[in-house]
Structure 1
Amino acid sequence: MTIEIVVGLPHLSKGPLLDQARAMQVPVLVSANAFSRWKRRHGCREWCGWRTRTLANTHGLASVDLDSAGFVLAVKERGIPWTVDDYIRLAGSFKFRRFASLDLCCEAEIAHNRAEVLDRVARTIQLNRACHAQAVDAGLASTFMPVLQGRVPDDYLRSWEGIAHLVRPGQVIGVGSLCRRHVTGVDGLIAVIDRLDRLLPADVRLHGFGVKGTALSLLAGFGGRVASIDSQAYGIAARREAYDTCRSKTGSMVARHMRQWTTRQHARATRRLPVQGLLDLPASEPQSNDPWQRALCDARSDIRALIVDGEIAYDQITDGWIEQWAAESIAA
């Protein structure tokens, strides 16, 4: 089976990006935060409900998936601002192909030590159970997608053990906290998927949130275990073009990069590379709990992927640009 490429969209507003997704007939994923309404009260930003009118713009799309929240929201809000009840109401407001459970990401910028990671895994298990129960009551059980969380491979097994009874035969389940993770290394993306592949029922398949395109050919080597991945990585190349040309990052520019990125990912997903021997390779950069150092590491990783794809030349890279990229990532 070929891994399905799901294109992450920052919103569902009319414009070149949505037009391009419709023309390519690719499945899309959008975060619940794209529908959020916020007000500033007493100097603080406060969530005050959903604004769902842009869902009317989804006509002609191949399908639409819903994610509960993302890393950026977790950084800004230090938690999920809406309740399970709120989220299930959003999930029921549209015929989403599937909607992910509420979950708590476990990146080092969010969970600063092992105790916090284990707490967030435990709370993710509870959120899965609560979302599933309310999805059943709302008649949405068939589109509900459980989500596993963790920092190291064993965390994901702990997460699985807590929700295994919710999973239907043949169901796709999400795997979170992958977008900023190194591909290789003992706690890398391949190690996480390998551990799950060895121990999950054979008919359960995985969706990787925010997986780097450079990992696709390796994930294809798991023989169909990975059903799909999503990403908004095409925005990186659009940002680079805007920086190089001293222009604004327009919707047309981002749409063009989305088309090019999706074409490359489909090509990668058809190639299968063996994963044996990769599990013991060190991560490409040392891990750090310092947000700035991790942002620099992630910026370099993103830039290397663009070099591999031929998007930019090595001699275009400067330390100043890497630092700007990292700063924008933190500020996003």
Structure 2
Amino acid sequence: MNKFIVTYLFLLLSASTFSSEISVLFVKGTAYVTDESTQKRLNKGDVINEGESIETKKNSFLILKISEHSKHKIDPETIVQIESLPYKFEGGEEIEQPAQIYLKVGTIMSEIFEKSDNESAIVRTNSTSMGVRGTKFLVNQNDSDVLLSVEEGVVEIKNNNQADIVEANQSVVVENDKVFTAVRPYKFQKQINWSFREDTLRSFNEVRAAYKSEFLKKRRPWKRDQLRWQNFKKERKTRLEHYQNEVKDLTKNKKLKVKMKQIQKRLMERAVLKDKKDLIDHNRPKETIKRQLLERPALNKDLKREAWKRRRQIRRENHDKPSGKNTATDHQQ
């Protein structure tokens, strides 16, 4: 009886520890997952781990699902990295850490159905990040420009010195992944296939020409709508206060704690290795000279004698040579 109770409590606690997994719902064509050392072809039902990268080949699609959190459609010729899965507090429904996906190149369309007063997910490129709390949106990165199109909800977009919000039926282009252009509606958004149905998959590349043409005609410098931005910030502040009140008594996720300790350990190991390398580089000249002296063959006795005679001769010449001070005194006399 006691054994049954212990087992039941263990299962209950395990169920309350939310650490999602990301799995392959659908694959068309050829796609690979890569970790630090190996690469394997993806099939339906495969599970992808944190830190792994996904690559789709030409005419290939993937549909991924993070359980109880989101769906993601990966277009052909796209590379993304799953930097982090979402974690919930122990025994709670609030997200402690959002999912984070790094888009290196290509197109990803995401639908986030796990809403939170904090961020539910972050999609980022090299310089730009997009934080969401429950929405459907598309991010494309090709030719160094980044496009964000929003179908539902609101996405906050920011980089080093710019920040704005993009609402439903609006898009923004970040030129060279650095410079915002005007946030506005575009007609090409209606041509995007926002469905996750396997029998209706279409690549964003099919509307790419229309997107480029319309953007070049309508391109305007970025200017933030300050009233809309202030309202957004006020609402976000209220949501964050509510979030902090909700989670203040919750226990942090154990698996997230372990993960953060592992990250800190790896960072410490890298720092130690760097310090060792710097020390070796600093001492290398001394060590090289010492090794050369030890490995150098003994000089022939005759060569040593000649060297000694030469040094003695130089000392004598220097001793017999009149100094500059004495010469000047002689001139005065």
- TM-score range (shorter-chain normalised) is under 0.3
Q: How high is the TM-score relative to the length of structure 1?
A: 0.27
Q: How high is the TM-score relative to the length of structure 2?
A: 0.27
More strand by share: 2
Higher normalized contact order (CA 8 Å, seq sep 6+, divided by chain length): 1
